Structure 1
Amino acid sequence: MPRPLRVAIGGIHIESSTFSPHLSTADDFEVTREEALLSRYAWLSPTEPWAADVEWIPLVHARALPGGAVDAAAYEQWATEIVDKLAAVGPLDGILLDIHGAMSVVGRSDAEGDLVTAIRSVIGPEPYISTAMDLHGNVSSVLFDACDLLTCYRTAPHVDVWETRERAARNLIEALRRERRPHKALVHVPILLPGEMTSTRDEPARGLYARISEIEAREGVIDAAIWVGFAWADQSRCKGAVVVTGTDATVAAEAARELGGHFWAVRDEFTFVAPTGSMDECLDTALAAVADRAKRPFFISDSGDNPGAGGADDVTFALDRMLARPEIRDGSRRAVFASLVDPQAVAQVADQPVGSPVRVAVGGRVDSRPPGPIELDGILEAVADDPDGGRCVSVRVGGLSVFVTSRRMQYRLLASYARLGVRVDEVDLVVVKIGYLEPELFSAAGDWLLALTPGGVDQDLARLPYQNVERPMFPLDRDFGADLAVVRG
């Protein structure tokens, strides 16, 4: 009887904007170890047949909401823990590396590449490494060379996160049982687009990602994956990528070439997932539209400060423009602003009785771009504890409820609004710090606009001060031909 396979699991999972002044520290991360780490994975509770006869060894997994670059000390702490545990556990057959792919660390230009290099320095070249990643991650040459299997999500918004992790694990176990290292092929595509132009709900991304099932059905292919890349980091690895793994090197290379060519061919077809405009233009449209009840609630994405992509979550520009509207200030229109992170402001008012008049400055403490902190003169409407945002308050100013949180969070779930006493189907307008609407908000929206607001994840990439992204790069550059060379591994 063959011995059980020994496979370790761990990783660091965050998306980091180098254009955001926010610094992601250890306090921003949820860290799991030991049995708590293994219990994250449904295929181990109970163990699926394909995962049986495997000794699953937990390392450490650290995960955070997207933010700014990670503090170097926090990264070193977890990277060292992973390496030290690998050195202590003895011989391994493989590693499941559960990562995002767009982590930036202060002082490093290829954080995941550095992490996998450190891992290889301990385990050597023989164990297989399989990565599960976000499609908004990056595949550097270093990461590609060090890993045997690479896969990523196939949906945006991401509804296949756990399916992807299980696929990465299953592909790893099957490859180990075949006792034959997979062939792999990489094509880098010189395209850099925000996620809000590449949702798989819409063409051309929908059709591009639909190709994956046909590619995977080919004899000799194990997995096909397409990375959009991460637009809000100024690093040379940031670009589109296609990786195909398989048992046949020629088939894998040809499939990668096809997908890379398809990606490049449709580059001019990518458009924003919703109509766009300045914040004031979006407010004009929304406030005119909500007279039609079918348009309520009308959502506006404050996209430039989206914490789900790395924004600081405290830019006050959109709030300032809302408060400038008489129909919102006088209560003629019922509106919600979700949200600003400001633990100082929350601490100042949260212990007062609900219904009390409050005056408190909010926002602009991390990302201080104009107008900076804004003074709210209103009523403490609600106080609640949120599993994501910590202690949260709602301050009512006229017809506007302003949500303020103790921790950075993204108001993507209706339950989070309800904790602060708001049913979105009863309001006219919701301005939310988000990019594309996550599924619950998308279903709830009577209509929706994407405001091109300032912040660390500005959707107008031409406004960002890139210095290290490889050029030419679409859409920053347009009049060039792409070198879609296939790199085999």
Structure 2
Amino acid sequence: MSGPMRPRVAIVGMAIESSAYSEHRAGYRDFAVREGDEVVTRYGFLAPGTALRDAAEWIGVFYARSIPGGRVHRHVYDDFKERMLRGLAAASATAPLDGIYLDIHGAMSVDGMDDAEGDLIDAIRALVGTEPLVSAPMDLHGNVSERLALGVDLPTCYRLAPHEDAWETRERAALNLLEWIGRAGRPRRAWVRVPILLPGEKTSTRVEPARGLYGMIPAIEALPGVTDASIWIGYAWADEPRCHATVLVTGDDDTVIKREAERLAHRLWDVRDEFSFVGPTGTLDEAIAASIAHRDAGGGRPYLVSDSGDNPGAGGSGDVTWTVGRLLEMPSLTRPGAPVTYVASIFDAAAIEKLWTYGVGDEVDVLAGARVDGRVAGPVRITGQLVSLHDADPDAGRVAVVRRGGVHAVVTEFRKAYHAASDFAAIGLEPSAADIIVTKIGYLEPTLYDIAKGWTLALTPGPVDQDLGRLGHSRIERPMHPFDSFDRAPSLTARML
């Protein structure tokens, strides 16, 4: 530490989940950027007067976060990295840094680059050296290369999917960092590459076997000599050599952390064939038929349908029109008196410009969507009554709702994931008034999960297709489950770092 003073910890980070199969490219508008004190105030556990805030001098440097999407433009990444490095250099100039809190996702891809987080930690280490301890909270859908694991002393990840423990994980990363800054020596890491690559919708901790796997972690962490134990399921829609599951245990007892890392890895491998979709699946037609049958049987509102192939929350482009186009062709949904159906969303700034020339209540005719990603389906013709116009959504920009029969199609100016009940209510679409809600999502996020009276995970096409075999991975290390069969069990020996 820096003498008798409180430890000095700088906070930096850049977080996005990037699909290699999305035509979207993440630019400046996609990222919410904070610098200086605004970085520190993002973390509720660092609010003034809290024990963690008082335990160290927290130096906000730079943090950028985006909803998932496609690869990041290289010039944007280079700019953000340079701003982090300049800030760290300035923070180090006044006094040495004892620690760096590196807030990342773990599945960022950048044009022309493999292992973006590995590149970032290497650049940070080249600047600050090996002395400051680095702690990194991550998404369990991150990809932890050996390169990243070598540079980060104290990595940890979420233990719930959906990620209801995101802030708990960030706080744990801060606590682990301060604990080790106050100790002699440095943490050791036992890193295991596990050749499994599965979509998140098959690995939700709401169900087994993921629930049981992550349920093993508290007992491991309670062992003497262990600081943290983590399982990264990995991110299936990237296509890089680092895409695989990872187990990593940190602590100061090599024997214990190696043993426990290998035990977790073997357990993960043993249950690899038990992973299945977290909810009932079907085609889009089957999902709509099930939702109508549910309504006719008096099952209650709303019935949720996941348009999983273009889920922006997993890296989808967000403007794939395949689903909305088919819904608008279904007589059962577009006739008078049809089930009230919300469909969210597609983004198209040009379509919004045209819709803004109409008044609410007018009959409209507009082509929308597929401007970014038209590989699966082209722009869709939306005709019907303009129900509402909304302005100044911080993510979506301007929003229009067009009704044709029972279908209420949501068109936005910019990409937005409609993953919360409040997202619909904010544009006048009360969830409890809908028979069916079709939204670009995979497993249901908490508020939608809570209100769903029924649900189908529709296996639709798109850049985050649940059928990984249709995507054409070519750069992952093989063999890999479930792409390949294994003649013998893989080596799951921990590498000590």
Distance 1:54 1:163 in 2: 19
Q: CA deviation at 1:295?
A: 4.7
Partner residue, 2:110: 105
Specify which of 300, 310, 314 is matched with residue 305 of structure 2.
300
Specify which of 60, 63, 82 is matched with residue 62 of structure 2.
60
Specify which of 341, 364, 373 is matched with residue 367 of structure 1.
373
Q: CA deviation at 1:36?
A: 0.8
Residue pair 2:46, 2:52 contacting (<8 A) in 1 also: no
Distance 1:52 1:230 in 2: 36
Moved more, 243-252 or 61-70: 243-252
Query: 1:148-159, aligned counterparts within 5 Å?
Result: 148-159=153-164
Say whether 1:346 aligns with 2:352.
yes
Say whether 1:402 aligns with 2:409.
yes
Partner residue, 1:33: 35
Distance 2:68 2:253 in 1: 37
Partner residue, 2:84: 82
- What is the one-letter code of the residue matched to 1:344? A
Partner residue, 1:197: 202
Partner residue, 1:413: 420
Query: 1:106-125, aligned counterparts within 5 Å?
Result: 106-125=111-130
Specify which of 376, 379, 384 is matched with residue 385 of structure 2.
379
- What is the one-letter code of the residue matched to 2:385? I
Residue by residue over 1:178-223, the C-alpha shift from the partner in whole angstroms, topping out at 9 and shown as x without a partner, is: 1320111111111100000011101000000001111111111111
Distance 2:129 2:460 in 1: 47
**Pair 1:50–1:415, CA change in 2 (3 A):** closer
Distance 1:472 1:295 in 2: 46
Moved more, 468-477 or 40-49: 40-49
Q: TM-score, normalised by structure 1?
A: 0.98
Partner residue, 2:398: 391
- SS class of match (2:299): helix
Q: CA deviation at 1:438?
A: 0.4
Say whether 1:475 aligns with 2:477.
no
- SS class of match (2:422): helix
- What is the one-letter code of the residue matched to 2:125? R
Moved more, 239-248 or 1-10: 1-10
Q: CA deviation at 1:478?
A: 2.7
Partner residue, 2:493: 485
Partner residue, 1:446: 453
Moved more, 473-482 or 136-145: 473-482
- What is the one-letter code of the residue matched to 1:220? G
Q: CA deviation at 1:50?
A: 4.1
Residue by residue over 1:144-169, the C-alpha shift from the partner in whole angstroms, topping out at 9 and shown as x without a partner, is: 01111100111100111111111111
Q: CA deviation at 1:3?
A: 2.0
- SS class of match (2:134): strand
Distance 1:292 1:411 in 2: 27
Moved more, 190-199 or 293-302: 293-302
- What is the one-letter code of the residue matched to 1:452? L
Query: 1:173-188, aligned counterparts within 5 Å?
Result: 173-188=178-193
Distance 1:427 1:31 in 2: 36
Residue pair 2:266, 2:492 contacting (<8 A) in 1 also: yes
Q: CA deviation at 1:387?
A: 3.2
Q: CA deviation at 1:44?
A: 1.7
Say whether 1:168 aligns with 2:176.
no
Partner residue, 1:285: 290
- What is the one-letter code of the residue matched to 1:282? A
- What is the one-letter code of the residue matched to 1:188? R
Percent identical among aligned pairs is: 49
Distance 2:203 2:350 in 1: 37
Distance 1:487 1:371 in 2: 46
Residue pair 2:14, 2:103 contacting (<8 A) in 1 also: yes
- SS class of match (2:216): helix
Residue by residue over 1:310-350, the C-alpha shift from the partner in whole angstroms, topping out at 9 and shown as x without a partner, is: 10111111112212211211132211111111122112113
- What is the one-letter code of the residue matched to 2:48? P
Moved more, 129-138 or 246-255: 246-255
Residue pair 2:203, 2:210 contacting (<8 A) in 1 also: yes
Q: Which runs of 4+ in 1 moved over 4 A?
A: none
> May I ask how many residue pairs the two structures share in their alignment?
489
Distance 1:237 1:73 in 2: 23
Q: CA deviation at 1:421?
A: 1.6
Say whether 1:144 aligns with 2:149.
yes
Query: 1:316-327, aligned counterparts within 5 Å?
Result: 316-327=321-332
- SS class of match (1:8): strand
Residue pair 2:354, 2:366 contacting (<8 A) in 1 also: yes
Residue by residue over 1:278-333, the C-alpha shift from the partner in whole angstroms, topping out at 9 and shown as x without a partner, is: 21222222222221222531111100100001101111111122122112111322
Distance 1:450 1:456 in 2: 16
Partner residue, 2:272: 267
Q: TM-score, normalised by structure 2?
A: 0.96
Distance 1:376 1:75 in 2: 37
Residue pair 1:301, 1:450 contacting (<8 A) in 2 also: yes
Residue pair 1:151, 1:224 contacting (<8 A) in 2 also: yes
Specify which of 21, 24, 36 is matched with residue 22 of structure 1.
24
Residue pair 1:192, 1:473 contacting (<8 A) in 2 also: yes
Moved more, 268-277 or 111-120: 268-277
- What is the one-letter code of the residue matched to 2:486? D
- What is the one-letter code of the residue matched to 1:466? H
Say whether 1:239 aligns with 2:244.
yes
* Unaligned residue ranges in structure 1 (runs of 5+): none
